[in-house]
Structure 1
Amino acid sequence: MRQLTSLDTQFLAMENQRVQGHVSVLGIYDAHTDCGRPLDAALVGELISRRLHLLPTFRWRLAPVPLSLDYPYWVDDGTFDIEYHVRELALPAPGSDRQLAEQVARIIGRQLDRARPLWEVYVIGGLDNGRRVAVLTKMHHAAVDGVSGAEVMSILLDDTTDREPDPAPPVVAEPFPSDVEMLGRGLIGLMRQPLRMMRAGPTALPHLDDVPTIRHLPGVRLVARTGRALKRVLPATSDSLTATGSGTTAPRTRFQARVSPHRRVAFGSMSLREVKSIKNTFGCTVNDVVVAICTSGLRSWLDERGELPAEPLAGFVPMSVRTAEQKGTFGNRVSVMLTELPTDEADPMQRLARISDAMRAAKERQRALPASLLQDANHFIPPALLAQAARATSRLAGMRGLNQPANVMISNVPGPSTPLYLGGARQHAQVPVSGVLDGIGINITVMSYQDSLEFGVVVDRELVDDPWTILDALRAGLSELAEHASRHTPPPEVTALHTAASPRRKARS
């Protein structure tokens, strides 16, 4: 048995009737393998079964602790019901991207069954008049983050079409614990809670006010004031590097509302080569250009509807803090940073320069914070109250008139640069499909694949009628930057950005 961390548990606690806690990857493939076999649920099921010994997250079942006295556990189920987890459906002709996106939106709007391992795979045929097949892999965020989710996909996908079937050693299932056993574990955990708080105190207390996911809670505010007092007496903490955008307040837009249970999805590819050309011209990073594309798109989209705030928007950017030693451990090793999105700036080059400055400052602040801050901060909330605290945060996030920390979630996930295959069928795109939260009703996640950037836009269905107009605005943002790059000599202050190499944590979903 493996106990979930407080951060893993938070992704369970955040779920309610309107908010889902899973993340997904949408792969687009040839309809047939190199040997002519159709890519269908039977083939995908065989592939997963052969590699089940390499996929512990596909075998884990959730074992809750009675009364939530402690964090729940994963129990290795040893196997799974293939017909339940791997499902097949087909799009009506002609099988367009919009039809696929509508089907994906319906699927991600349904929560995973906690009585089973928390994943599902959907094989969706009929795409592009039957020439292609989509495979949607849906996994709970309590088991994987962006990096560990990519590790799962790397186990399922191959870099060649002629990989031999893997020998599948038997997996020994763990006996599922009784309620009495889990109650005993919970009582032991309850006694350990003061020790957890003491261990987390030195790293978490000085920075509790820097955690946007919990700082709205009244009880945390009191502890955070104590933390701010500690900052003044801890010489190792720099005043200029104490907040991850904690002073950032998001202006009100239509996205700062309580979400419904339903979603809309849009997706599409953009040229990675074009993005890199912009990066090289202006001396910034690929991530800066991605954020600039999102900023430009949101600016024009809101402006066309007469909804553009006078103040800049704020972005909520998840990022990985997973070390090389933690590779293959699954679970969550993430942090977040808040950054300004200068939608108040009309000039695209000045906008890019401001984004580069803001992202660099946010990364410097982030490096000054403990990598385990989100996990340690949760230790100041007893497990029995974590779900209630998550619900309270959700209610506050959806309240009109209350300042929100961010308008939009933006993630940029580095992906494979070479072609991949699923059971011998070539993959043409790998699109991230994330989720939305109360108070942040839009998510833009980007993943690179070969020479493309795959954009996945997810919005609450009641807030946006057509997310494809947002995708069109993002494309226009890239075109605007590319046009300036093709004819513009950047000023010295822009070309000087990011010339000094420094370690960075990569933004991930």
Structure 2
Amino acid sequence: MAPMHQLSGLDQGFLHLETGNSPMHIAGLCFYTPATDSRAFSFEAIRSGIEERLHLARTFRQRLVEVPMSLDRAYWIEDPDFDLDYHLRHVAVPSPGDWRSLVTMASRILSHPLDRSRPLWEFYVIEGLDGIDWLPPGSFATLIKIHHAAIDGVSGNDILFALTDLTPEGRNIEPPRRRWVPERVPTAGSLLLRTALANVVAPFKLVEGGAKLASTVIGTVARLPKYREDPPPAPFQAPRTPLNVPISAQRVWDGTVFPLETVKRIRKAVDGSTVNDVILTVCAGALRRWLDKHHALPEKSLIAFAPISVRAETEKGKLGNQVSGMLVSIATDVADPLARLTAVHDNTVKSKSLTNAIGARTLTDYTKYVPSATAALATRLYTRMKVAESHNPIFNCVITNVPGPQIPLYSLGNKLVAQIGYGPIFDGMGLLLAIFSYDGTISIGVSSCRRIMPDIADFVDFLNLSLEELRVAAEAVLDGAVVDVAPEAAPTKAAPRHKPRHGAEIPPVATVI
């Protein structure tokens, strides 16, 4: 049994950010198709499979214990009242069981916060998908929802592996080496005593943090001449957009899936560009179309926040977040798709260079020096006073890219064919794009709220249009042709929808001469 342990400053930050309008969980919607007839699908079989794997991920049975008045960071304990049946839910998509019905159901599930008195996760088994034409009969989906204080994208991959197998036949799960033993919930008095003792050494930690901060500032300033003419974006330099306003409580979620090979082919058209650069360019193209549709496309490029994992090999399997991030200009001010890819590539190289100069882990470490009560009060005031309306956005959106396994995974004889992610939004930042690659596919999950993006289906169609215009332009360059990119027209009508798309035929924006 792992002893009671305290959240990091970053993990605690996700608790502080949580409000009634802004639940701080992440999620993944997985689609399974029958790979063998040897094991029939049943909810009871899935329940049994999860029960025998609970010891493979600490997230499953650990719950929060919060310090009174938020005087210190909360603690994780082994939940003495753990009840697996509370966390497992069996639902069916209402008729006609099509994609729109599924994403509507998922959006409602994702709108509700998790119960902090229990382990912070829920697992939904979803049937009734017969109206989704790209899934064969007998397919089902699972939606796992976990608080961001417990995991980041990389540790979420660990949970995916815990719940799946490498073959349709499955694997033998080794029993835990030690019997699981729950912990007693500590009293408020004992938590306050821990806080008082911790405050004795707090000044020394603050001095240590100040020394690190001074060293980082000096090192960064020394490198600034390198970026003087064309500096990477800084916080609060992003343009105002309809995405950067206070959010509502009703989530909207949707997504699409591309062939990874298409993305890899496109990147060859611009020397040095990466899969991540191509996806950022696709997202930028969709944002151009969506903002143009709403007559709100700014002249200045949008700024995206891109999380970076700093989780070491020795930290695999641990709860919590080991992430930093960088700000990237995604060139939404560039109409030509290949010119946009070139600009995005240059911008990511520049942002990565500055982030590496500062030290990604250093940025994460500073969170532990922020007093918990101060952070909690600041977050509440920011939301209640609607401060997000009074300043330029810190950044316009979050685009997070988590590389997944490039081999097929299975659950009870069913093959995982796709996974689409979801991430939290908050006041002033109403769009998160979750990128996940798996077994030759790459998905983009779109998370927003109904106040900001009631037409989320159009935005997903714009992602597909953006990929296609970039593909056509890249193919022309790779084939040695000349590309004349036609001026973009403001799209007012969405393309036909078949979710998720796998290289669907879409009228190209570029014309090959």
The residue number in structure 2 matching 1:25 is 28
Where 1:387 maps in the other structure, the secondary structure is helix
Residue of structure 2 equivalent to 1:163: 170
Is 1:100 aligned to 2:102, yes or no?
Answer: yes
1:420 paired to 2:409:
yes
1:90-138: CA deviation from partner (whole Å, max 9, x where unpaired): 1122211111111111111111101001111011110124632110011
1:366 to 2:355 alignment? yes
Residue 252 of structure 1: how far off its partner (Å): 1.3
SS at 1:399's partner residue? helix
- The match for 2:489 is none
**Matches of 1:122 and 1:417 in 2, distance apart?**
25
**Matching residue of 1:239:** 224
Task: Give the Å deviation of 1:182.
Answer: 1.3
Alignment match, 1:125: 127
Give 1:282's aligned residue. 270
Q: Which amino acid aligns with 2:56?
A: L
**Equivalent of residue 336 in structure 1, options 313, 325, 328:** 325
Match of 2:476 among 478, 483, 487: 487
Alpha-carbon contact 1:22-1:141 (below 8 Å) kept: yes
- 2:203 equivalent to 1:200: no
Query: Would the aligned equivalents of 1:241 and 1:365 in 2 still touch at CA under 8 Å?
Result: no
Shift of residue 80, structure 1, vs aligned partner: 2.5
Secondary structure at 2:419 match in 1: strand
Runs (4+) of structure 1 moved beyond 6 Å?
A: 241-244
Is the CA contact (8 Å cut-off) linking 2:220 and 2:358 kept in structure 1? no
Q: In percent, how many aligned pairs have the same letter?
A: 36
Which residue number corresponds to residue 5 of structure 1?
8
1:58-97 correspondence runs (5 A): 58-77=60-79, 80-97=82-99
Whether the 8 Å contact between 1:79 and 1:171 is mirrored in structure 2 is no
Letter in 2 for 1:152: I
Q: Tell me the CA shift for residue 139 of structure 1.
A: 0.7
Please give the alpha-carbon distance, in whole angstroms, between the structure 1 residues aligned to 2:275 and 2:296. Answer: 28
- Residue 376 of structure 2 aligns to a residue whose secondary structure is helix
Tell me which residue corresponds to 1:249.
Answer: 237
Change (3 A) 1:15 1:483: same
Partner of 2:346: 357
SS in 1 for 2:389: coil
Specify whether residues 190 and 384 from structure 1 end up closer, same or farther in structure 2 by C-alpha distance, changes over 3 A only.
farther
Change beyond 3 A, Cα 1:67–1:415: same
Would you say the 8 A contact 2:10–2:368 is kept in 1?
no
* CA drift at 1:395: 5.5
| TM-superposed deviation, 1:239 | 2.2
Task: Give the SS at the match of 1:257.
Answer: coil
Match of 1:304 among 293, 313, 319: 293
Identify the residue that residue 219 of structure 1 maps to in structure 2.
Answer: none
| Aligned residues of 1:25 and 1:430 also touching (Cα < 8 A) | yes
Is the Cα–Cα contact under 8 Å of residues 236 and 392 in structure 2 kept in the other structure? Answer: no
**Structure 2 residue aligned with 1:450:** 439
Alignment partners' CA distance in 1, 2:323 and 2:411: 28
Q: Is the Cα–Cα contact under 8 Å of residues 250 and 404 in structure 1 kept in the other structure?
A: yes
* Higher mean C-alpha displacement, 73-82 vs 55-64: 73-82
Summarize deviations over 1:230-249 as a string: whole Å, max 9, x none: 53xx5994224798632661
Query: Helix, strand or coil for the counterpart of 2:358?
Result: coil
**Secondary structure at 2:175's aligned position in 1?**
coil
1:263 aligns with 2:251: yes
8 A Cα contact 1:204 1:376, kept in partner: no
Q: 1:172 aligns with which of 159, 162, 181?
A: 181
CA distance in 2, matches of 1:403, 1:235: 24
Q: 1:469 to 1:166 in 2, by over 3 A?
A: same
Rounded to whole Å, the distance in 2 between the matches of 1:489 and 1:426 is: 35
CA distance in 1, matches of 2:95, 2:220: 66
Unaligned runs of 5+ in 1: 208-229, 492-509
Q: Distance in 2 between matches of 1:262 and 1:33?
A: 39
- Per-residue deviation at 1:397? 6.9
Cα distance in 2 between the residues matched to 1:27 and 1:197: 44
Q: Which moved more, 1:98-107 or 1:181-190?
A: 181-190
Report the AA paired with residue 135 of structure 1: T
C-alpha change, 1:188 and 1:312, in structure 2 (3 Å) is same
Q: Is the 8 A contact 1:70 1:190 kept in 2?
A: no
Which structure 2 residues correspond to residues 389-408 of structure 1 after superposition, within 5 A? 389-394=378-383, 399-408=388-397
2:116: which partner in 1?
114
Give the drift of 1:458.
Answer: 1.0
89-98 or 272-281, which deviates more: 89-98
Offset of residue 348 of structure 1: 1.4
User: Which deviates more from structure 2 when the two are superposed, residues 61-70 or residues 442-451?
Assistant: 61-70
Q: For residues 195-240 of structure 1, what are the alpha-carbon distances to aligned partners after superposition, in whole Å with 9 as ceiling and x for unaligned?
A: 2212222233566xxxxxxxxxxxxxxxxxxxxxx53xx5994224
Kindly indicate whether the alpha-carbon contact (under 8 Å) linking 1:89 and 1:122 is maintained by their aligned counterparts in 2. yes
Question: In 2 relative to 1, CA 399–53 (structure 1 residues): closer, same or farther, beyond 3 Å?
Answer: closer
Judge conservation of contact 1:10–1:390 (CA < 8 Å) in 2.
no
Please, what TM-score do these two structures have when normalized by structure 1? 0.86
With 188-197 and 240-249 compared, the bigger mean Cα shift is at 240-249
Q: Quote the residue 1:150 is aligned against.
A: 157
Structure 2 unaligned spans of 5+: 132-136, 481-513
Distance 1:355 1:408 in 2: 15
Structure-2 residue corresponding to 1:410: 399
Amino acid at match of 1:181: S
Worse-matched range after superposition: 324-333 or 147-156: 324-333
Deviations 1:450-509 (A, max 9, x none): 111111011111111221111111111111111011111599xxxxxxxxxxxxxxxxxx
Indicate the residue corresponding to 1:210 in structure 2.
none
Deviations 1:39-82 (A, max 9, x none): 42x22221121011112111111111223222111002267312
Amino acid at match of 1:280: K
Corresponding letter in the other structure for 1:6:
G
Q: Secondary structure at the match of 2:151?
A: coil
Which stretch of structure 1 is more off in the superposition, 165-174 or 423-432? 165-174
**Residues 324-362 of structure 1, C-alpha deviation per residue, up to 9 Å, x if partnerless?**
222222311101211112111121121111111100000
- Please tell me the residue identity of whatever aligns with 2:128: G
